[in-house]
Amino acid sequence: MLQKKIEKIEKFLLKESKKRGFNSIVFGLSGGIDSAVVGYFCNKVFKKKARAFIMPSTFSNPKNTDDAINFAKSIGLYYEVIDIGKFQDDFASISHLKEDSKDLHRIGNFIARIRMAILYDKSYLHNALVIGTSNKSELMLGYGTLYGDMACAINPIGNIYKSEIFEIAKHIGIPKYIIDKKPSADLFEGQSDEYDLGYSYEMIDKLLVQIDSNLSKKHLLKKGFEREFIESIQNRIKNNRFKSKMPKIAKV
């Protein structure tokens, strides 16, 4: 089952890039598990035509940058490090941002969009396709920045739940120092995915699988999920659904 998914990912990357007329790709490498898995497949499929960009911000944990570099070196993946701290600092200054929760998320969104702007610039420079690194759990929950980390041309892991990403990572030999890391977008100091979401990915994915099968709240309760948990996840999906839609165009 796992091997079939791996083969499908590789075929998808090759087929969809060729369909769009590209044989080179670019993507962001963060030092986290999702981008490492994508990096592994991109390097395997595109070899020297794959380019990874590591883009630490002022808030980034230096260990994540080191992990990204070490991972790229270990598989022979081309990489560049681009420090985006100055962009972040300038934005914080001109926007008069404070260190409260809302402003931290504003900075986080800005960082995600700067990274994507850089990737699309590199895409133009190298005539390369931008590859996404968001997993299915994140996409269903809308846990990402619109026109930021969610923006891409094709996404090889967008139909794979986070808990499955861990299984694939172990199978293909992603280093333990990346697999064991607490999931985080590294958008601001101390940020973690599971703190933001309120639940572990293991819990969330079990529910998302059932929601994706169109089970009603009544059936979810019968399966033993807590009402508060169900409503929290369903509300998040509902409130963020707009992120997965193309802009509505007026019919005139």
Hey, what domains does the chain have and what are their CATH numbers?
2-193 (3.40.50.620)
Across 219-241, average pLDDT: 97
Q: Note the pLDDT of residue 229.
A: 98
Element (H, E) at 92: helix 85-94
pLDDT digits (tens, 9 = 90+) for 61-110: 999 999 999 999 999 999 999 999 999 999 999 998 877 778 888 999 99
pLDDT band at 35 (very low <50, low <70, confident <90, very high): very high
pLDDT digits (tens, 9 = 90+) for 204-218: 999 999 999 999 999
Side chain identity at 12, as an amino acid letter? Answer: F
This prediction's pTM: 0.95
Q: Note the pLDDT of residue 186.
A: 81
- Whether 187 has a pLDDT exceeding 80, the answer reads no
CB contact set of 97 (below 8 Å; sequence gap of 6+) = 91, 103, 106, 107
Between CA 203 and CA 219 the distance in angstroms is 17
Determine whether 155 is exposed, middle or buried from the number of CB atoms within 10 Å of its CB (0-12, 13-18, 19+): buried
- Whether 190 has a pLDDT exceeding 80, the answer reads no
- Whether 11 has a pLDDT exceeding 80, the answer reads yes
The DSSP output letter for 154 is: B
Place of tokens 């996409």: 139
Q: Note the pLDDT of residue 189.
A: 72
Across 36-43, average pLDDT: 99
Rounded to a whole number of angstroms, the distance between the first and last alpha carbons of the chain is 49
Q: Note the pLDDT of residue 14.
A: 98
Q: Could you tell me which residue, 97 or 51, shows the higher pLDDT?
A: 51
pLDDT band at 191 (very low <50, low <70, confident <90, very high): confident
Q: Note the pLDDT of residue 185.
A: 82
Between CA 85 and CA 90 the distance in angstroms is 9
